[in-house]
Amino acid sequence: MAINILTLIYLLASVTFIIGLKMLSNPAHARRGNLIAAAGMTIAILGTIFLYKDDEGNSLHNYGWIFGGILVGAIIGTLAAKKVKMTAMPEMVSLFNGMGGACAALISIVEFNHVNNSINYFNGSLGNGFVLPNFSYSFLLIICLGLIIGSVSFAGSIIAWGKLNGKIKDFSFKGQHIFNLLILVIILIITSLLFISFPDNIVILFYSVLVLALLYGVLFVLPIGGADMPVVISLLNSFTGVAAACGGFLYDNKVMLTGGILVGAAGTLLTILMCKAMNRSLKNVLIGSFGGTAVAAQGASKTGGAYKEITVSDAAMTMSYSRKVIIVPGYGLAVAQAQHVCHELEKMLEEKGVEVKYAIHPVAGRMPGHMNVLLAEADVSYEKLEEMEQANDEFKTTDVVLILGANDVVNPAAKTDPASPIFGMPILEVEDAKLVIVNKRSMKPGYAGIENELFFKPKTSMLFGDAKSVLQQLVGELKNL
Among 180, 372, 398, 439, binds another protein (CB under 8 A): 372
Q: In this chain, which of 4, 62, 123, 480 binds another protein, going by CB under 8 A?
A: 62
Give the binding range for another protein (CB under 8 A) out of 164-172, 215-223, 227-235, 347-355: 227-235
Backbone angles phi, psi at 200, to 5 degrees: -85, 145
Q: Which is nearer to another protein, 363 or 474 (CB)?
A: 363
Task: Please select the residue that binds another protein; options are 256, 427, 437, 471, rule is CB under 8 A.
Answer: 256
For residues 404-433, which are near another protein according to CB under 8 A? none
Which SS3 state, helix, strand or coil, does residue 326 take?
Answer: strand
Q: Is 376 exposed, middle or buried (0-12, 13-18, 19+ CB in 10 A)?
A: middle
Q: Which of 225, 330, 368, 421 binds another protein (CB under 8 A)?
A: 368
Spatial CA neighbour of 139 closest among 247, 263, 264: 247
Residue 357 near residue 350 (C-beta atoms within 8 A): no
Is 338:471 a contact under the CB 8 Å cutoff? yes
State yes or no: residue 212 binds another protein (CB under 8 A).
no
Q: Is 24 in the site for another protein (CB under 8 A)?
A: yes
- Other beta carbons less than 10 A from residue 191's beta carbon: 22
* Residue from the set 69, 133, 304, 353 that interacts with another protein by CB under 8 A: 69
Preceding omega of 199 cis (within 30 degrees of 0) = yes
The answer to whether the beta carbons of residues 361 and 428 sit under 8 Å apart is: yes
Binds another protein by CB under 8 A, chosen from 2, 81, 203, 443: 81
* Segment contacting another protein by CB under 8 A, of 245-253, 302-310, 412-420, 472-480: 245-253
Altogether, the residues listed in the chain come to a count of 481
Of 101-140, binders to another protein (CB under 8 A) are: 102-104, 106-107, 109-111, 113-114, 128-130, 138
**Site stretch for another protein (CB under 8 A), options 219-227, 246-254, 342-350, 471-479:** 246-254
Q: In what order do the strands lie in the sheet with 355-360?
A: 308-309, 460-464, 435-440, 400-404, 324-329, 355-360, 385-387
Please pick, from the candidates 44, 51, 219, 354, the single residue that binds another protein as defined by CB under 8 A: 44
* Minimum CB distance to another protein, residue 69 (Å): 3
DSSP codes joined into one string, 401-463: EEEES--GGG-THHHH-TTSTTTT-----GGGSSEEEEEESSS---TT----GGGGSTTEEEE
Site string for another protein, 162-201 (x = CB under 8 A): ----------------------------------------
Whole-number minimum distance, CB 387 to another protein, in Å?
8
Q: Which is nearer to another protein, 234 or 398 (CB)?
A: 234
What is the smallest separation between the CB atom of 392 and another protein, expressed in angstroms?
15
- Residue closer to another protein, measured from CB, 137 or 464: 137
Which alpha helices (H) appear in 165-289, and where do they start and end? 176-196, 202-221, 229-250, 254-277, 282-287
Query: Looking at residue 59, what DSSP letter applies?
Result: B
Closer to another protein by CB, 87 or 180: give it.
87
Kindly state the DSSP code that residue 373 receives in the 8-state scheme.
Answer: H
3-state helix, strand, coil in the chain (%, to 5): 65, 5, 30
Nearer to another protein, 280 or 370 (CB): 370
| Beta carbons of 137 and 126 less than 8 angstroms apart | yes
Burial class, 279, CB count within 10 angstroms (exposed 0-12 / middle 13-18 / buried 19+): middle
Span interacting with another protein, options 51-59, 197-205, 313-321, 427-435, rule CB under 8 A: 51-59
Spatial CB neighbours of 467, under 8 Å, sequence gap ≥ 6: 332, 333, 335, 336, 338, 342, 404, 405, 439
Q: In the set 11, 12, 15, 41, which binds another protein (CB under 8 A)?
A: 41
Q: Measured from the CB atom, is 238 or 407 closer to another protein? A: 238
Q: What burial letters (b/e) apply to 297-324, b meaning 16+ CB within 10 Å?
A: eebbeebeeeeeebebeebbebbbebeb
Whole-number Å distance between alpha carbons of 376 and 86: 12
Choice from 221, 310, 374, 433 touching another protein (CB under 8 A): 374
- Taking Cα atoms as reference points, which of 363, 281, 403, 376 lies closest to residue 90? 363
Distance in Å, CB of 224 to another protein, minimum? 16
Least distance to another protein, CB of residue 473, Å = 27
Return all residues near 75 (Cβ < 8 A) that are at least 6 apart.
none
In the stretch 341-360, what mask flags binding to another protein with x, by CB under 8 A?
-------------------x
Footprint of another protein on residues 258-297 (CB under 8 A)? 258-270, 273-274, 277
Residue 126: CB minimum distance to another protein, A: 14
C-beta of 288 vs 369, nearer to another protein: 369
Active site residue ranges: 408
How many residues bind to another protein according to rule CB under 8 A?
119
340 binds another protein (CB under 8 A): no
